[in-house]
Structures are given as structure tokens and as C-alpha cells.
Amino acid sequence: MRTKTIAFALLAVAVLGCDAGKKPYEMAAAAEQRHELRAAMEGYDSVCITAPNSALCGPAKERADVVRGQLADDDIAALRFSAAKALLKDSHSLHGQLTSTEMIAGLAFEAAGADRQAALVAMEKLAGTDGKSVPAAKEWLKKERPGILWSSIQPKCAALDAACEPLATRLRELHPDAPEASKAAAALATYAKRRKAMFTAWLQTAEKNMADCASVSKRESTWQTCNRQGFLATDDPLRAMAIAERLCGQNPVEQQKKELSSEWDLVTKGLREFPGLKALEQRHDSACSDGDYVPSIVEPVPLDADTASAAKPIELAEAKTAVDSWNEAHNRPFVTTNLERMYASKLKFYGQNLDRSQAIVALRKQLAKSPGFHQEVARDLERKVNERGQTLILFDKTYGSKEGPSGKVRAYLLFERAADGELQIIHESDTTTDSNLKALGF
């Protein structure tokens, strides 16, 4: 077909005698015949510039678009979408291709730059089209996708994120022979063990909580019975209350009930994805309201030492020790040994996503600007646990220096347990910084 169209282009020249557009058209047709497509395109474009009234101006535009389309196809096949876009924009009849699914996805791929996740999304769209880029897109996916997926899987599985399983399964299904597929299988196995161990640890805490709650319920019932005897002794309500208080005292378990209730809130968060949570809550209600508790044996999960340590819940006392170490590092200028151990390899640091060394450098710079900096942490720490087993510790922090500002903020540290059992800080900030960033649109 291409030979026939070139032959037609040469025939158009033969019948035109001395038309001023004849020579540039003839040269362009010859270049096209030699498959020198860019020279041919430029030659056809020059026909209308050299001889705008030439009878060959219309045919030259048509041939220029044919050649442009071929050049654009070559660029698209090589994943050079911006170059293809420029060619199509300069055409007379090919603008419709600029809004094709292939072109939009290809330009998104180029725009992604170093954002490998965005590049992957765009490349998967390209591979799903029927365009010229499909072979190159599939080759790119074969080479790059395993590594990109693995870079997402690793932190998700380490954080016991529920997205670990579907991501790892997808990698293994798409690229079963890739080295990353073996890594994903190992990460998924460890994730399953840690998850089961985490459930086991929370279930053990739940059993202890229910046993304590049943005991508290019975003690409170005894106290309530004592109170009723005081009210039976007289019809005078005030005198009855005085008798009851003298005989029975204040509710001996009120504070313990609050503590157990707070602990149970943590348990239910930790067991948020546990399939037997509803039945467990029914047992808890029965234990705490009626004192009716029948123990259930929680079988320990056999794990290697690292996995067992990583699955262990973070207790408040342990978190307090970690906060003290963190506080000490701020009060002893340039002593960052604690933080080198406590900061995760990557963390969110006052609104910025940094690696450990960047966070420590940022802290050192801040301390250098504030000679004599000192901070104090209030002892009444607040603990919250999310469904991933990560523990948020909130506290009031006062700070000041010899020359700099002083004040008080509500600060927080988000901890997770590393594979070796040590606590790691994965997010550090305060509510004032967060509010300021939000006001600025971050």
C-alpha cells in the first residue's frame, strides 16, 4: 500500500509541467521512497510555503500527514509520546489521535517522571490498548513492575497493613518467575504469622480483661447489696445514704472499671479484623455486667524470636520509657544516639517525609538555632492503638531556650515495633504544626 501511495505522489508530479511546487514535491517524494521520513515531511511542508498557489499544495499536505502519522507511530512504539504529540499537533488531519486513550496514558507515563507508582498505572493502561506502544509497554512492565510492586509490598507487610496480602498475591500472579515474587511469598508468610501472633497477644489481653471485669462486677454487686441494706434500715433517704456510706464506703471498683473499659477499647481496636470479635464482645458484656466469665484457652503461636517480638503489643510503660529516651535526646544538644536507634529508616517528621538521617540533621539544625534549648514532657501520656497495631502516644510538651521562643504544645509520637522487638518512631509532630500546615494547604 505504501509503494502505491508513493507511486501516486510521483504521478501527481509528472502531470504538472512547470508548477513551482513541482521540484520540492518531487524531492519530498523521493525522500519518502528512500524511507527518509523526516526529510520527506519537511519537503512536503515546504511545497505550500514555496508555492502557496501550486496545484500540488493540497496533495503535499496529504502526503505530509501520511508521513507525520508514520513518524508519530514510530515515536509511540518507542514510548516517545511528547515527540508524537508535537508531530500530530502540526498535522492537518490527525488531531483526533491527540485524545486517544493511548496518547493520554502515554503522556501521563512521561509526566510521572520519578514517580514509579504513577508510571506503573499509566503503563498498565497503555498495555491494555491496541496501539503501537503495546509491545514496548509489556516489555516495560515485565522489567519494572515486579520491583515497583515489591517496594509497596515490603512496608505494607511490615506494618501489618491489610493491603499486604492482595498486593503480594498480585505480584506472584503477574510475575511468578521474578525474584521479587519469592520475596513477596516470604513477606506474606511472615505477615500471616505476625498477624496471627498479634491476634493471639490481643486475645490473651482480652481474656485477662474479661476475668478482671467479672471479678470487679462481683465486687460491685457485693457493694450494691450492702448499700441496699442501708436503705432498708430507714425511710429517710439522707439518713439511709449516711448509713450506707458508713457501712459500705465508696464504690471500691469505680476507677478499676474505667481502666478496664479503656483497656477493652484498645483490645477491640487491635482485634478489629479478627473474625471472632463479635462473639468476644458478647462474652465481655456478660463478664462485666453479670460477672459471668468462662475462661477460653488461647493457644500460643509458635514463632521465631524476631516475629514474636514484632507481634507483641506496645504497653504504656514501654511507651513511656521510649518517650523519655526521645526527650533526653532533645535536652542534650547533638546527642542523637537515641534517635538513631529510635527513628525508623523512613518517617514522617513534622509534615515532611524524611529518612532517618535527614530527620536527625533537621533536628540538629533546629537545636543549633536555639542555644540552651530545653523541653519537658508531662507524665500523663495518652495512648491510642490503630488497627495495624501501631501505637500513638500523645502528651503535653513545654519548651524554651535562652534566646528563642517558649511555649506549650500537644505533641505526639507514632510507634511501631520493629522485627527485633524494639520500638521505632514512624511519625513525629505536634498539633500546632499540623494546624499550620493545614492552613497553608498541605
pLDDT tens string 341-371: 888 888 999 989 998 888 888 888 887 787 8
Contact 233, 247 (CB under 8 A): no
| Nearest of 151, 192, 155, 147 to residue 174 by alpha carbon | 147
> pLDDT at position 439, please?
66
Would you say residue 308 has pLDDT above 70? no
| 262-305 pLDDT per residue, tens | 889 988 888 888 888 898 999 999 999 988 988 887 766 554 54
Question: Contact at 8 Å (CB) between 230 and 244?
Answer: yes
Mean pLDDT, all residues of the chain: 85
Could you tell me the pLDDT band of residue 15, with boundaries at 50, 70 and 90? very low
How big, in percent rounded to 5, are the helix, strand and coil portions of the chain?
Answer: 65, 10, 25
pLDDT band, residue 108 (cuts 50/70/90): very high
Q: Is the pLDDT of residue 1 over 50?
A: no
pLDDT score for 32:
92
Q: In terms of pLDDT, which residue wins out, 386 or 427? A: 427
Parallel/antiparallel/unpaired status of strands 343-349 and 423-430: parallel
Written as nine digits, the cell of 278 is: 463479635
| Residue 12 contacts residue 25 (beta carbons within 8 Å) | yes
Predicted local confidence at residue 116, as pLDDT? 92
All three cell numbers of 183, joined, read: 520475596
Average pLDDT over residues 27-56: 92
Task: Specify the DSSP element, H or E, that contains 238.
Answer: helix 237-248
Give 88 or 266, the one with higher predicted confidence: 88
Higher pLDDT, 422 or 126: 126
The CA distance from 21 to 61, in Å, is: 12
Residue 329 CA to residue 338 CA, distance in Å, equals 6
The position carrying cell 515474587 is: 181
Q: Which residues pair with 53 in a beta bridge?
A: none
Measured in whole angstroms, how far is the alpha carbon of residue 36 from the centre of its chain?
49
User: CA of 82: how far to CAs of 72, 136, 259, 430, in Å?
Assistant: 10, 16, 63, 44
Residue whose C-alpha is closest to residue 388's, from 326, 311, 293, 335: 311
pLDDT at 192 over 90: no
- Enumerate the H helices of 302-355 as residue ranges: 305-311, 316-331, 337-342
Residues forming beta bridges with residue 374, ordered by sequence position: 400
311 pLDDT above the threshold of 80: no
For residues 383 and 100, give the distance between their C-alpha atoms in angstroms, rounded to a whole number.
52
The pLDDT, as a whole number, for residue 174 is: 95
The confidence score (pLDDT) of residue 366 equals 81
Give the pLDDT of residue 377: 92
In terms of Cα–Cα distance, which of 84, 310, 67, 79 is closest to 192? Answer: 310
Dump pLDDT digits (tens) for 128-180: 999 999 999 999 999 999 999 999 998 888 877 888 999 999 999 999 999 99
The contacts found for 29-37 with CB under 8 angstroms, 24 or more apart, are 29/63, 32/6, 32/63, 32/67, 33/6, 37/67, 37/70, 37/71, 37/74
pLDDT of residue 336: 58
Q: Picking from 157-161, 331-335, 419-423, which range would have the lowest pLDDT averaged per residue?
A: 331-335
Please give the average per-residue pLDDT across 65-80, as a whole number.
Answer: 94
352: β partners: 349
Percent of the chain residues topping a pLDDT of 70: 88
Query: Among the listed ranges 10-19, 276-285, 329-338, which one has the minimum average pLDDT value?
Result: 10-19
Instruction: Read off φ and ψ for residue 142, nearest 5 degrees.
Output: -60, -35
Separation CA 181–CA 189 (nearest Å): 12
